[in-house]
Amino acid sequence: GTMHAKLIIIERAQALRVCISSSNVTPQDWEGVSQCIWVADFKPANDPEAPARKRVKPDHTSDFGDQLARFIETFFRSIPDSSSLSSYWVKVLTGSRFNVKLPKGVELIASAPGYWKGDDRDNWGHMRLRALLSDVHSEEILFQCSSIGFLPASFLADLSKSLNGNIRVAWPLYDVAMWKRGSNFLRFPSRHFEGGQFPLN
């Protein structure tokens, strides 16, 4: 597959807007499937209502701007002639112009292309989720997905270990799944629906 981040960053004089969605930028995804989109506006540092920014070391407790900047650096690393673009957005996200911070308890968990080990392993995907959830005690974990590709059993086992709890998935209905079948919306047999494991309508 091809890494395609569902991320939009808009820089304006009065605010920096970050949008993260569950949808691909196609009419089929937006018009036919329930999606979620997260939007946050970050005010300039000289705005009296903006929170004070404190730089921290880049680890799994980093603030939002540092984590997003690390993702952008990693994402653009494999794209030729993109260093100036990457450097620009890293400067915007970690510089002094905007306060790119979120309330405590709101975290970015990004997936980055490639294989990770050592200290980098806990910066991405379900391993970062595992690190963050290690300090959280919850009886239930709820997450939403609009589509899912092929997931080998070994990955599902690791993901289950990272979630370490009672998992509930907000999953597409059968009619929607069948409507999107031609676009590889689902990558497992229809018997999962037919056997009653997922809702039909």
Per-residue pLDDT in tens (0 to 9) along the chain, 201 residues? 566 778 899 999 899 999 988 877 777 777 766 677 889 999 998 876 655 544 433 344 457 899 899 999 988 887 888 899 999 999 999 999 998 988 877 888 888 877 788 878 888 888 888 888 887 776 677 776 656 666 677 777 787 788 776 667 666 666 666 655 544 455 555 555 555 544 444
Look at the block and give the residue holding tokens 């497992």. Answer: 188
16-21 and 37-42 beta bridge pairing: antiparallel
**Interstrand relation of 140-144 and 166-170 (parallel, antiparallel or unpaired):** parallel
**181 pairs with which residues across the strands?**
none
Q: Strand pairing partners for 37? A: 21
Query: How far apart (Å, rounded) are the C-alpha atoms in residues 99 and 51?
Result: 7
Neighbouring residues of 66: CB distance < 8 A, sequence distance ≥ 6: 55, 56, 58, 93, 94
pLDDT of 194: 56
State the Cα–Cα distance between residues 171 and 185, nearest whole angstrom.
12
Task: For residue 4, indicate whether it is catalytic.
Answer: yes
Helix 125-133 to helix 153-163 angle (10° resolution) is: 20
- Residues 40 and 43: their CA atoms lie apart, in Å, by 10
Edge-to-edge strands of the sheet including 7-11? 7-11, 16-21, 37-42
Residue-level pLDDT at 22: 80
Name residue 140's beta-bridge partners.
Answer: 166
Instruction: Write down the pLDDT at residue 56.
Output: 36
- Burial (Cβ within 10 Å: 0-12, 13-18, ≥19) of residue 81: exposed
Look up residue 32 and give its two tokens. 């036919």
Place of tokens 């080998």: 152
Inter-residue contact 89 to 9 (CB < 8 Å): yes
Q: What is residue 18's predicted lDDT score, i.e. its pLDDT?
A: 94
Is 6 annotated as belonging to a binding site? Answer: yes
Domain ranges for the chain, please list them.
1-136, 138-200
Amino acid 55: pLDDT: 41
Identify the active-site residue in 4, 126, 137, 192: 4
